[in-house]
Structure 1
Amino acid sequence: MRLDFTTPQRQSVTGIIIMFADTFQSIVRAMWVPLLLILFKLKEDQYLVVGLGFFGLVLLTLVIGYLKYRNFTFFLDEEKQEFVLSKGVINKSKISIQLSKIQQVDINQSIIQKIIGVYSLDIDTAGTDKKEISIRAIDQKLALLLKERLLDYGDKESEILDENQEIKSDTKTFLKISYNTLFKVGITSNYGRTIALLITFAITLYQSFKDAISTFEIDEKQVDTVFERGAGFFSAGILIFGLLVLVLLINIVRTFIKHFDFVMIKQKQSLVITAGLFAKKNTLLNPDKVQITSYSQNYFQKKFRILDMNMKQASSDEVKEQKKKSNAIEVPGCNTEERDEILKIILGKIPEKGAQYRSNFRYLIFRTFSAVAFLAAILTLLHYSEIGNMTIYIPLVFVYLCLISCLIYFGYKNHALYVNQDFIIKRHGAWDVEHEIIEPHKIQSITAKQYFWHKSSDVGHLILHTAAGDVDFRFGNFTHIKQLVNYWLYQVETSKENWM
């Protein structure tokens, strides 16, 4: 058997299972509320009818999955230099992507795909807010070869390959993250993100609980009494300690699930990253397509001698607004030597800090005013909610003011912009101190603005727009900002390098 991408071909036969699972999952997600109500309201004499209905739904889903598999074909059009995919059951569609516009090709593997031994191949372009094409069931060897053909579309030597022929490439393991390092990353990072996740989950759970009370006609007064009694058993200290433990546990679990068996391989001039416990993800990092490179480190990570890196590639405006980190490739827990080697591959050399620009003291005033306004809004909301004696919140207010004061001070102290001929480096952060690095020729547009009440003090704001997101510098000297803008515009216009 020969693998010829110039002729239409289907996915693996086991793709029928994937199509069935995807279709069944989407139906359950769309109908979980009425299904839950049916189960609770079901009478004994209705079990047979519901069982037959469920069997009919499974049978219908199998038929749909088979038709999706049969109508799903893909091939390479060498004459037009396009990748063409056809799909659909009733409304059939045909998608064509110019090979030169392909931004990224990822090879992933979910739990179901791992069980049946197939992979998914996702093709992304810089101008869309989602994956252009997703092939859900493909053999690993076929996926690797197709990925190479899509990204090296000018090379036709690998067009046809025997099934038993090995795929040879110049690869070597560049970085491997150990379990010990992942544990260190789990206990030293993502505190804010995990707390926000817990708050979101608690709000969603509370709303679902209230809906259940309304649906099943449970007495709300009894529920409130239970909560009041339960709250009396725990002090604020125990709750805070429990929250800290929960945050650490969630961080560790999330880190291992996402970055388990993290391996970075150097392949030609690119980096291939493979990671994931349940869903294995294989991502190609092309240095030319990286727009913003950043690394961050907090106090605990400094003691452990580890840091986190992020490489952001080009994405659409909608992705940048709604999913700011969706286009970022993370490298957790690397040391300074490994960071420098990665920076050399992506940027060509280790960036050096040039002239330093600091924020005006008005940065402190603005941050302080925002923090006090937020606290006032929360206290006002609690007061009008009639929750009881407000004096019990005084210790929490004191803790909040102490914590936010430290964050504002260190945030101001670390807020700086460094500029030289080759790089722009922004340093920021109170706890996680992050350095964001941009090459001037990657800038797509620049915004420099000044409010009328800042003119007398010559203070303004700077925003650098790239295809992967924005980098801003607030409350800087506006005269210096205008000089930098003219300098960067000159560099962009005279540079012979492409932005990707």
Structure 2
Amino acid sequence: MQIDFKTPQRQSITGIVVMFAETLQGVIRAMWAPLLIILFKLEPEKYILVGLSFLGIIILVGIVAFLKYRNFTFFLDEEKQEFVLSKGILNKSKINIQLSKIQQVNINQSIIQKIIGVYSLDIDTAGTDKKEISIRAIDQNLALLLKERLLDYGEKEEMLLDENQEVIPKEENIAKPFIKISYVTLFKVGITSKYGRTIAILITFLVTLFQTFKDAVDTFELDETQVDSVFEKGFGMISVVIIIFGILILVLFINIIRTFIKHFDFEMVRQKKSLVVTSGLFAKKNTLLNPFKVQITSFSQNFFQRKLRILDMNMKQASNDEVNEKQKKSNVIEVPGCESGERDAILKLILGKIPEKGQEFKPNFRYLLFKILFSVIFPILIFIVLSFTVIDDLYFYLPLVFVYLALVGFMIFYGFKNYRMYSNSEFIILKHGAWDVENEIIQPHKIQGITTKQYFWNKSADVGHLTLHTAAGDVHFHFGNFSEIKLLVNYWLYQVETSNENWM
């Protein structure tokens, strides 16, 4: 059976459940605080009224979900080479996207979608501040066919389904395995990467938990002195060493769990002109992207990963300058725990060859002075001032200052040692990092803009800063030789203006 995307189509009928759940979730998020106050303060005899009101909200949400389903249609305009979507309840809108602008198509599945057997299909285009189109409920096989048509829009052959609505593959279209990450490798990734991010999440959770507990104490008018005494007794029985050890174990445990949930059954295959990445435990994510539209390719490795012979790779897609960090991260394709041979295969696929470093550029020693000033001198001065003026007992923590100096000194030294820029006629490589040493690779023709900066106090030393602007974000090189930087900028601008390469 042929699938004709030229005529308007609706989502799966079971998608009404997804839209109902998402709409209800939005209502609950907006009203949870007033509802809790009402439930605590309301007299028992008025609970029936609350129940009827909640039933009315459920009915209203159901009507909204049905109208969202009814008014949501999509189709392919072959003549104009556009994907057209119509949606809306009261204010109806129509979105037209040029197929040539589509850079990434994601097929995801949340827990609710997994229960009812549907998928969501999200379409990203370069230069937008959000996902242009999100189809919330679509059959898997139809989603796979649609994403192929969207990214391989230049090919006119019809896609076929058999009587069981399964894709009938042509011999040349069968996806062949490219990279598959094993569970052992995921465990290695979990214990060797993203310590800082996990600690930040843990601290955020503990702060939120503390604030929630404090609010509960205020709300229920508990005796704070009794609560404080319980905490003092509890912490008095636990040594600092055990607490630190427990935190380290917790960080590793959270890291491993996060890695398995996000990258479970990670697989990368090459399909026609595109790259298909599939991963996820609870929320299955299937991403199809065009390798030639990748703006920045990077790989990083720390000491433990080097011993285990693994590394992490990132492929950064184009995004608008106005998007927030969370949205930018959604355009980054991560490849966790790949080997050096797999890294080289990915680099060849995206860049056409394994990049060579070329001429090396080092930062001036002022880079080191800048780091020492803001990471060592200022914090210690603040500590000394606080210990003698505001907090009397702060000097008891003086030994921690030496621990801080050792850690920061290590980070500054190796950060300066690894901070390099390499350039040749085909590639620009920015190397940086003290623990996780990252190499960011850019092709000159993908540069959208260049900014150079030199402060007046750096003119005598001929020191300046460089920023390369791309559709996937900015890349910086600070405290370089400004005369060399200006020569490089002129050469890169010449390459951009004379290049016939198309990356959009």
> With structure 1 as the length reference, what TM-score do the two structures score?
0.95
Q: Aligned Cα RMSD in Å?
A: 2.0
Q: CA deviation at 1:115?
A: 1.1
CA separation in 2, counterparts of 1:164 and 1:411? Answer: 53
Which whole-Å deviations, capped at 9, do the CAs of 1:8-61 have from their partners, x for residues lacking one? 111111101101110111111111212222333344323333333322222222
Structure 1 range deviating more: 324-333 or 20-29 = 324-333
| Structure 2, unaligned runs of 5 or more | none
Q: CA deviation at 1:437?
A: 0.5
Alignment pair present for 1:132 and 2:136: no
What SS does the aligned partner of 2:430 have? Answer: strand
Matching residue of 1:166: 168
Matching residue of 2:52: 52
Q: CA deviation at 1:227?
A: 3.1
Q: Aligned runs of 1:9-408 on 2, under 5 Å? A: 9-158=9-158, 163=165, 166-168=168-170, 169-319=173-323, 323-372=327-376, 373-377=378-382, 386=391, 389-408=393-412
What SS does the aligned partner of 2:295 have? Answer: strand
Aligned length: 499
Q: CA deviation at 1:488?
A: 1.0
CA separation in 2, counterparts of 1:60 and 1:322? Answer: 32
Which whole-Å deviations, capped at 9, do the CAs of 1:413-435 have from their partners, x for residues lacking one? 10011111111111110000111
**Matching residue's letter, 2:206:** A
Structure 2 vs 1, CA of residues 165 and 131 (structure 1 numbering), >3 Å: closer, same or farther? closer
CA separation in 1, counterparts of 2:141 and 2:466? Answer: 48
Q: CA deviation at 1:208?
A: 2.8
| Structure 1, unaligned runs of 5 or more | none
CA separation in 1, counterparts of 2:108 and 2:390? Answer: 48
Q: CA deviation at 1:457?
A: 1.0
2:2/2:159 contact within 8 Å kept: no
CA separation in 2, counterparts of 1:407 and 1:399? Answer: 13
Matching residue of 1:438: 442
What SS does the aligned partner of 1:115 have? Answer: helix
Structure 2 vs 1, CA of residues 133 and 376 (structure 1 numbering), >3 Å: closer, same or farther? farther
Q: CA deviation at 1:249?
A: 0.6
Structure 2 vs 1, CA of residues 97 and 202 (structure 1 numbering), >3 Å: closer, same or farther? same
CA separation in 1, counterparts of 2:351 and 2:435? Answer: 26
Taking only the aligned residue pairs, the percentage that are identical comes to: 70
> With structure 2 as the length reference, what TM-score do the two structures score?
0.94
Q: CA deviation at 1:270?
A: 2.2
1:105/1:124 contact within 8 Å kept: yes
What SS does the aligned partner of 1:318 have? Answer: coil
1:4/1:160 contact within 8 Å kept: no
Which whole-Å deviations, capped at 9, do the CAs of 1:382-409 have from their partners, x for residues lacking one? 88775x6213321222211110110000
2:294/2:316 contact within 8 Å kept: yes
CA separation in 2, counterparts of 1:324 and 1:79? Answer: 32
Structure 2 vs 1, CA of residues 199 and 158 (structure 1 numbering), >3 Å: closer, same or farther? same
CA separation in 2, counterparts of 1:486 and 1:18? Answer: 53
**Matching residue's letter, 1:360:** N
Q: CA deviation at 1:375?
A: 5.0
Structure 1 range deviating more: 365-374 or 298-307 = 365-374
